[in-house]
Amino acid sequence: MSTGTERGRFANVSLQDIIGWVLLAVIGLLILDLLRQVIVGDLPLGRLWAFTWNGIVDSLYIGLAAIGLSMTYSILRFANFSHGDLITTGAFTGWTAAYLVGGIGIAELSSRLLLRADGGAQPGDVGMDVVSAPLAIVLGLIVAAVLTILVALAIDRLVYRKLRDASGIALLIASVGVALALRYIIALFYTTDTRGVVASSPQWEMPAFFPMETINLHEATLVISALSLIIGVHLLLQYTKLGKSMRAMSDNKDLALITGIPTERVIFATWVIGAGLAGVAGYLIVLDRGQVTINLGWFLLLLIFAAVILGGIGSIYGALAGSLVIGLTINLSLVWIPADLNEIAAFTLMILVLIFRPDGLFKGVKTA
């Protein structure tokens, strides 16, 4: 009997090792091939830079959302499937606020309140870009964060608080219910139509030493906002008492309780930070893509999960690293494969890494 299990364990380890080595070898080969293509001239440097830049932009908004998902995962101990719809909530509430302010005197109240659900008022006419309506855009960003936080806190009060002691899977199932209800309540007001709400982005000429000639101001806004928020969260977690309590609670909940950390207050803070970042992420994604749809967050959710899992659930820095890997994968993979297969590359990478390292690249917290 014992020999059987020993053999089994060795077989496990070797299979994992093999997959790990194969994965590393493939990544190494791809890098070599990338260098070859650049040297031979198959891949112009400008294109490579565009892929990398898009990868960074993608990884930043995925990262914003992933921080929140990772925090709820480690502190509330469940995979929150309604996180994607918090992103959607942020997108709709934020842009509604931006339209309400930016569209005064240009568009009718109904089109501004319902984000052009009636098809009126083109975004270009309203002047929805960062140069024409900077105040409206910034206000929208703040409203997106605040309202998403309020929605998340209300959901916590109504649903998750009553399930604090339930198993991770029970909470997961409840969160799926929350996701559906939230998304389609939004759809009830805003309809299910996909529509453009942002005017095309103004471009700025860049000085000669930059790798690109012009910069898309909406992308720049996204990058600057996301980076400052990420640095803010880092400072909060590392240097405040609240941050310390949060890290303690994600590390060992029982020990945190015994040491007298106010768990409900930590959970409150978790929702505030997580939902706020998710709302901002949703708002910024719309700023970058120009379009809004009720499936915005739901379609992103699996990529965000992939990022969180790659980094190891529960580690915020891991989640950021995972987001970078996912963001770069879905863009750099375009060097070799067509655009409609890039998410497959990301999910495959996630599954392979999980075989190689079942706890993610960084060690995660066990939940279920």
Give which of 125, 133, 60, 15 is closest to 321, Cα–Cα.
60
Residue the block writes with tokens 């339930």? 166
Is residue 109 close enough to count as binding another protein by CB under 8 A? yes
Q: Which stretch binds another protein (CB under 8 A): 51-59, 62-70, 135-143, 180-188?
A: 180-188
Q: Which stretch binds another protein (CB under 8 A): 26-34, 247-255, 256-264, 341-349?
A: 341-349
Q: Closer CB to another protein, residue 317 or residue 347?
A: 347
Is residue 235 close enough to count as binding another protein by CB under 8 A? no
Is residue 218 close enough to count as binding another protein by CB under 8 A? no
Amino acid letter, residue 113: L
Of 36, 162, 265, 363, the one binding another protein by CB under 8 A: 162
Give which of 290, 288, 319 is closest to 304, Cα–Cα.
319
Q: Which stretch binds another protein (CB under 8 A): 57-65, 158-166, 209-217, 234-242?
A: 158-166
Q: Closer CB to another protein, residue 1 or residue 39?
A: 1
- Quickly list DSSP for 207-270: PTTSSSSEEEHHHHHHHHHHHHHHHHHHHHHHHSHHHHHHHHHHH-HHHHHHTT--HHHHHHHH
First to last CA, the chain: 29
Q: How far is residue 114 from each of residues 111, 125, 190, measured CA to CA in Å?
A: 5, 16, 6
Of 71, 136, 284, 313, the one binding another protein by CB under 8 A: 313
Residue the block writes with tokens 């994607």? 84
Is residue 350 close enough to count as binding another protein by CB under 8 A? yes
> Residues in the site for another protein, rule: CB under 8 A?
1, 8, 12, 79, 109-110, 113-114, 117-118, 159, 162-163, 166, 168-174, 176-185, 187-189, 191-192, 298, 302, 305-306, 309, 313, 337-338, 340-341, 343-344, 347-348, 350-352, 354-355, 358, 366-368
